């Protein structure tokens, strides 16, 4: 059987949803169909919180209402082949769907480290974006107490904090010198480690996993320094790889890092086929070098760009490369980063000066719930252009880092911060006399 649509979106994650909804709103006269494998799509960034705060996966499901109210059609099914020339996709059940424009939002899958012995032992898990898998994982974790999480990136840190919250004995093993070491400079990562440790999470940094131990089921883990950690369960959180088989088989170009090659309109080599989100090529905003940063928020930004350019290109709506904008929380401590860290900026050859200010997130500081708040800015020495910023403080850091992200994306200078009008309120922000973003800019200004 064969059916057809104008716009076909493959993938029901955040970028697929946004591309479909915005595709329909940009081209209301076109039919939009979204096809996904999962009966119920899980909200990816919410997965770590299923284990503690949310209590079960049913609370972390994408509401299909968003698609329905936007008049996007939804089909559950798996596309197994794509014919680029005839512009038709084939499903596992033999059905075919032809399209005018195709958006690949194929997502990513946890890395399976083949070099690590013991990953197939019972009670060794990865963090899969799959409701059934997560449900089984939760059931299995219930009976076990000692958990080792391999990988101290965002997912590893968030899951560790949540599993610790429900009373497990958790140890993070991170091969880099510090947890969250790709997103933050050392001094911020150290503060994050202090937070986790104060909450009861154990941390081993600067050492990788050598072997997962056990017969049938896991009993421990051997580290590269010879140390053995006992474990009833091991969670591998060692990154994700882009899902690109469908694209690759159809002849679309894949880059050296394994992502589908796209241009700044998110078009593949075939102008009728777009790729967005975790499966699509990423480049750094400042250097244009290939990047591996996969984020739901960046994915939705790519989705909006693709959707707006499906039938007509717009010169002002392009994707200029990923700035890398992250946020997370450990308890009531929020952390965020946007743009380049000092470490990365220097590694990439930028001549930078930095400014850090430590203040508070409410004022006066005597107010209940006042939290220390630190902001660091990384600035081009000659241009004064803000290349990046990092923040650690209260929960307001989530939006504060979005402000920094705007500054970075628009290549603003420290002057734009020094002269900025900001709003302040005792219960919501730092004081007007010591707003950390401005104070950090002052530190930079003195150095330039």
Residue 448 binds a second copy, judged by CB under 8 A: no
Q: Which is nearer to a second copy, 67 or 102 (CB)?
A: 67
Question: How far apart are CB 152 and a second copy at their closest, in Å?
Answer: 17
Stretch that binds a second copy, among 13-21, 142-150, 233-241, 243-251 (CB under 8 A): 13-21
* Site of tokens 């421990």: 220
Question: How far apart are CB 177 and a second copy at their closest, in Å?
Answer: 24
Contacts of 252 by beta carbon, 8 Å cutoff, 6+ apart: 84, 260, 261, 268, 269, 270, 273, 275
Judged by CB under 8 A, the chain residues 66 through 105 that form the site for a second copy are: 66
Residue 371 binds a second copy, judged by CB under 8 A: no
Phi, psi of 297 (to 5 degrees): -70, -40
Nearest one of 425, 401, 428, 388 to 334, comparing CA atoms:
401
| Contact with a second copy (CB under 8 A) among 76, 257, 422, 448 | 422
Stretch that binds a second copy, among 77-85, 106-114, 117-125, 290-298 (CB under 8 A): 290-298
Stretch that binds a second copy, among 184-192, 194-202, 241-249, 326-334 (CB under 8 A): 326-334
Residue 380 binds a second copy, judged by CB under 8 A: no
| Contact with a second copy (CB under 8 A) among 89, 163, 223, 329 | 329
Judged by CB under 8 A, the chain residues 195 through 254 that form the site for a second copy are: none
**Please, are residues 376 and 188 in contact by the beta-carbon 8 Å criterion?**
yes
Stretch that binds a second copy, among 30-38, 84-92, 168-176, 399-407 (CB under 8 A): 399-407
Judged by CB under 8 A, the chain residues 330 through 369 that form the site for a second copy are: 334, 336, 338, 363-364, 366-368
Instruction: Locate 112 and state its tokens.
Output: 């399976």
Alpha-helical regions (H) of 150-276: 154-165, 186-198, 245-249
Residue 383 binds a second copy, judged by CB under 8 A: no
Calculate the CA 157 to chain-centre distance: 13
Judged by CB under 8 A, the chain residues 31 through 60 that form the site for a second copy are: 43, 45-46, 48-49, 53-54, 59-60
Residue 22 binds a second copy, judged by CB under 8 A: yes
| Contact with a second copy (CB under 8 A) among 69, 249, 426, 447 | 426
Question: How far apart are CB 219 and a second copy at their closest, in Å?
Answer: 33
Stretch that binds a second copy, among 74-82, 229-237, 328-336, 350-358 (CB under 8 A): 328-336
Nearest one of 10, 41, 16, 12 to 299, comparing CA atoms:
16
Helix (H) or strand (E) holding 220: strand 218-223
Long-range contacts of 416-423 (CB under 8 A, 24+ apart): 417/377, 417/386, 417/441, 418/442, 418/445
Question: How far apart are CB 238 and a second copy at their closest, in Å?
Answer: 21
Residue 171 binds a second copy, judged by CB under 8 A: no
Nearest one of 39, 38, 31 to 98, comparing CA atoms:
31
Check whether the bond before 364 is cis (ω within 30° of 0): yes
**Please, are residues 210 and 179 in contact by the beta-carbon 8 Å criterion?**
no
């Amino acid at each position: 059987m064969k059916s057809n649509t104008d716009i076909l979106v493959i993938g029901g994650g955040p970028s697929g949803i946004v591309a479909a909804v915005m595709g329909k709103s940009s081209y209301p006269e076109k039919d939009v169909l979204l096809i996904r494998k999962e009966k119920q799509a899980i909200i990816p960034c919410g997965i770590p919180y299923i284990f503690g705060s949310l209590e079960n996966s049913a609370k972390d499901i994408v509401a299909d209402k968003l698609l329905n109210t936007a008049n996007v059609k939804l089909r559950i099914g798996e596309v197994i082949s794509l014919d680029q020339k005839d512009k038709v996709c084939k499903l596992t059940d033999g059905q075919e769907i032809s399209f005018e424009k195709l958006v690949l939002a194929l997502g990513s899958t946890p890395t399976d480290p083949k070099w690590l012995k013991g990953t197939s032992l019972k009670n060794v898990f990865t963090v899969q974006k799959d409701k059934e898998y997560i449900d089984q994982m939760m059931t299995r974790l219930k009976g076990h107490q000692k958990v080792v999480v391999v990988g101290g990136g965002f997912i590893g840190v968030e899951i560790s904090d949540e599993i610790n919250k429900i009373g497990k004995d958790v140890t993070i093993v991170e091969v880099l010198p510090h947890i969250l070491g790709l997103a933050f400079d050392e001094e911020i990562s150290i503060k994050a480690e202090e937070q986790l440790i104060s909450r009861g999470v154990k941390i081993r940094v600067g050492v990788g996993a050598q072997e997962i131990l056990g017969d049938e089921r896991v009993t421990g883990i051997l580290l590269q320094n010879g140390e053995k950690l006992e474990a009833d369960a091991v969670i591998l959180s060692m990154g994700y790889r882009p899902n690109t088989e469908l694209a690759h088989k159809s002849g679309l170009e894949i880059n050296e890092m394994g992502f589908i090659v796209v241009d700044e309109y998110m078009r593949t080599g075939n102008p009728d086929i777009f790729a967005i989100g975790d499966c699509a090529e990423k480049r750094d905003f400042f250097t244009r070098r290939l990047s591996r940063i996969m984020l739901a928020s960046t994915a939705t930004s790519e989705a909006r760009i693709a959707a707006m350019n499906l039938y007509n290109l717009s010169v002002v709506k392009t994707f200029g490369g990923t700035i890398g904008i992250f946020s997370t929380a450990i308890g009531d401590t929020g952390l965020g980063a946007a743009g380049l860290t000092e470490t990365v900026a220097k590694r990439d050859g930028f001549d930078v000066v930095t400014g850090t200010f430590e203040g508070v997130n409410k004022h006066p500081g005597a107010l209940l719930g006042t939290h220390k708040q630190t902001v660091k800015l990384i600035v081009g020495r000659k241009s004064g252009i803000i290349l990046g910023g990092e923040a650690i403080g209260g929960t307001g850091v989530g939006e504060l880092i979005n402000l920094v992200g705007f500054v970075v994306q628009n290549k603003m200078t420290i002057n734009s911060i020094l002269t900025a009008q900001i709003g302040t309120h005792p219960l919501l922000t730092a004081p007007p006399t010591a707003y950390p973003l401005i104070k950090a800019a002052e530190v930079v200004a003195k150095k330039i």
